[in-house]
Amino acid sequence: MREIVRYTTAALLATVAACMISSGAAALSAYERGYTGLPQEVRDSVEKARNACSERREDGGEYQRQLGDWAGIQIVDLNGDKSNDIVVDYSEVCGGRMTEAVCSNRSCGFEIYKQIGNGKWRKIFDEDLYSYHLVIDGERESNRFQLLIATIWAGDPRCDPDQKKHYDSGQACNLFVTYKNGKWKWQKIK
């Protein structure tokens, strides 16, 4: 009986290690392909934003070269299918918020692209957020998306605003945003 338990434990550990290695390889493959391996739509949008920031800074792109190509871009797995889904945070593509370049005085663009095949992505999330917290699971190798805590304008219907009240652009609400079965669910934090 003991030998079977040892063998089962050893087999279990070997299986877990193999899964960790394979999931780590899948999560890293987008990075291994490099920035030029990202979809053209993503690169074009990010480069347009970075050019606008460079013009505002009047630095000829020097600051951006110091930041690197991956600034504001993150690879996650939205639904556990081991895909390389792409998050683009326009508040960070230039190293921070740049009002009149990539952000308004209140919000910045935040996009998520779902990988739908080998080398193919589709934009499935495109919002202007005041701020956010992206929650990824604790397993470094999986990069599994858990939820987004988003802050948006309080007058947005997803904030369930009081119809008798006026909301100026400085008022906000916080929401839990989850992704399940190909749909986004927004739930106001009360």
Q: For 74-126, what is each residue's pLDDT tens digit?
A: 999 999 898 999 999 999 998 888 777 788 888 999 999 999 998 899 999 99
pLDDT of residue 168: 93
- Taking CA atoms, 51 is separated from 31, 40, 54, 73, in Å, by 23, 16, 5, 16
Cα atoms in the Cβ-side hemisphere of radius 13 Å centred on 104: 13
Q: Quick check: 92 and 33 in contact, CB under 8 A?
A: no
Dist CA 170 CA 161 (whole Å): 14
pLDDT given for residue 125 in this prediction: 97
Q: What is the pLDDT of residue 113?
A: 97
Q: What integer pLDDT is reported at residue 3 of this predicted model?
A: 34
Angle made by CA atoms 149, 153, 155, in degrees to the nearest 5? 125
Per-residue pLDDT, 137: 86
pLDDT of residue 5: 32
How far is the C-alpha of 103 from the C-alpha of 140, rounded, in Å?
30
- Residue 31 confidence (pLDDT): 54
Residue with tokens 């999560």: 27
Among residues 146, 175, 83, 77, the alpha carbon closest in space to that of 120 is found at: 83
Which residue positions in the chain have pLDDT lower than 70? 1-33, 138-141
Find out whether 159 and 153 touch, Cβ atoms under 8 Å: yes
Give the domain ranges of the chain: 2-188
